[in-house]
Amino acid sequence: MIAVKEDQVIRSFTCQNCRGPQVESAEIEETCPKCGGVMQGKLWDIEEIVQFSPRLKCQKNGCKGFMSIGSLQSQEPMLLSYAINREYLERAIGKANVAVLFVRDEDVCGIDTPISFVFSEHPQIDFFLFHNYLIEHTDFYGRPDKTSISPTAQVHPSAFVAEMNVVIDCEAVIGPNVTVLEHTIIGPGTVIAPGVVLGVQGARLIKRPDGSRFKALHGGEVRIGKNVFIGANAVVVRSVWRRPTTIGDGVFVGNLVNIGHNCQVSDGAMILPAAILCGRAEIGVGATVAPGAMVSNGVRVGDQAFVSLGAVVTQDVPSGQQVSGNFAIEHARLVEHIKELSAK
């Protein structure tokens, strides 16, 4: 993270020319590290929310607007988020990057904070309705750009590649019946096996008070590094927020793997057949997730760690450790436990 002085405003910059990497900076303008173009950030005034829905009321405190949007787990700067109750609000106040919150009026009594408020009877519902509005009716997540396919890439005639917002770099191979949806970037030398689906939206459903549900749209991207292999019929879900679902360089992804929204798979990792990475899971450098294993939401598997066959991982795995079982524990402890049971 950038060291922030009290008088600094950290902006998020995205290049609309090449859709290059996002940059966070205290400068007014930045240069795209990929194409050299000028990148500009934008502060969105909270009055944008009132224009979206006049029934919502705003209270401007020290923060006058927002530059990013996401859940309270997000580390993005000048964040717009939501707090469903007083406990969530107090948690948000402890985070330096939160700028604006959808909240209930009764939860802010006695609260002194620079965070600005948007008052709602149902903060989560109105937050996601506004998020959907940003995706569908504004350029918050960038402007459309024509798909770019390198002349040296190989795309099978039966593959579907969206006409907008896709980049396929040099020497990439797109196999038969692959689907590459918008907001997907595929690095050089990467091989996508038959039947893979990239950039699909996940099933994030928000429940209304009457029991009906609506879908939270996904506004981010899928970014795949260089020399990656993605096996047959794997699925990689587009991120909900700006931070893309990322697969690093040299990663091996087996057949039938599902990689959820906003997952971060680091360089050299191996995600073996039929494994499932739930939303926001992080896989460290050189780590292995064995066949049929599942890594739960927001869990981090450390560098060079090993998740055994069929394990269900619900808490962080330290670097270099092997875990096994359902729910997964350190492999050596599980073996000892099984020996004890067998001896009885």
The answer on 111 and 157 residing in a single domain is: no
Per the residue annotation, which of 137, 261, 331, 337 is the catalytic one?
Answer: 261
Residues 164 and 16 grouped into a single domain: no
Instruction: Yes or no: say if 184 and 168 are a contact pair by the CB < 8 Å rule.
Output: no
Write out pLDDT tens, residues 273-296: 999 999 999 999 999 999 999 999
Of 115, 137, 159, which one is at a domain's C-terminal end?
Answer: 137
CATH value at residue 65: 3.40.1390.10
| 219 and 118 inside one domain | no
Residues of the domain holding 279:
148-332
125 & 21 share domain: no
Instruction: Return the amino acid letter for 244.
Output: P
210 in a structural domain: yes
* Residue 218 annotated to the active site: no
Specify whether 120 is located in the same domain as 266.
no
91 lies in some domain = yes
Task: Examine the fold and report which residue of 114, 137, 160 is the final residue of a domain before the chain moves on.
Answer: 137
Note whether 76 and 126 are same-domain residues. Answer: yes
CATH code, domain carrying 188: 2.160.10.10
Express each pLDDT in 104-134 by its tens digit. Answer: 999 998 888 999 999 999 999 999 999 999 9
Residue 263 lies in a domain: yes
Q: Tell me the C-alpha distance between 210 and 202, whole Å.
A: 23
Do 272 and 164 lie in a common domain? yes
Q: Are residues 78 and 102 in the same domain?
A: yes
Are residues 102 and 217 located together in one domain of the fold? no
Q: b/e for 276-288, b at 16 or more Cβ within 10 A?
A: bbbbbbbbbbbbb
Domain co-membership, 102 together with 31: no
31: number of Cβ within 10 Å: 14
User: What is d(CA 42, CA 28) in angstroms, rounded to the nearest whole number?
Assistant: 9
Residues 6+ apart with CB under 8 A from 314: 296, 299, 327, 328
Q: Select from 247, 252, 249, 279 the least CA-distant residue to 264.
A: 247
Kindly give the pairing relationship between strand 44-45 and strand 38-40. unpaired
Check whether residue 274 and residue 157 sit in a common domain: yes
Torsion of CA 256, 261, 262, 264, to 10 degrees: -10
Is residue 344, in this structure, part of any structural domain at all?
Answer: no
Q: What angle do CA 19, 22, 27 make, to 5 degrees?
A: 120
Both structure tokens of 312: 């269900």
User: Within the chain, what is the greatest distance between any pair of CA atoms?
Assistant: 70
- Domain end residue (candidates: 92, 118, 137): 137
Please check whether residue 238 lies inside any domain of the structure: yes
Note down pLDDT in tens along the chain; length 344 residues: 233 333 344 456 666 556 566 666 655 567 777 776 666 556 788 888 988 888 999 999 988 889 889 999 888 888 999 999 999 999 999 899 999 999 999 999 888 899 999 999 999 999 999 999 999 998 888 778 899 999 999 999 999 999 999 999 999 999 999 999 999 999 999 999 999 999 999 988 999 999 999 999 999 999 999 999 999 999 999 999 988 999 999 999 999 999 999 999 999 999 999 999 999 999 999 999 999 999 999 999 999 999 999 999 999 999 999 999 887 768 778 777 767 766 66
The two tokens of residue 226 are 């260089």
Q: Is residue 190 part of a domain?
A: yes
Residue 3 lies in a domain: no
The answer to whether 263 touches 297, Cβ cutoff 8 Å, is: no
Residue 340 lies in a domain: no
Q: Which pLDDT score, from 0 to 100, does residue 282 have?
A: 97
Burial class of residue 264 in the structure, from the number of CB atoms within 10 Å of its CB (0-12 exposed, 13-18 middle, 19+ buried): buried
Full DSSP string of 146-183: B-EE-TT-EE-TT-EE-SBSEEE-TT-EE-TT-EE-SS
Q: Do 207 and 117 share a structural domain?
A: no
Sign of CA pseudo-dihedral 290, 247, 301, 295 = negative
- Tally of domains in the chain: 3
Query: Is residue 319 helix, strand or coil?
Result: coil
Query: In the chain, what are the helix, strand and coil shares in percent, each to the nearest 5?
Result: 15, 30, 55
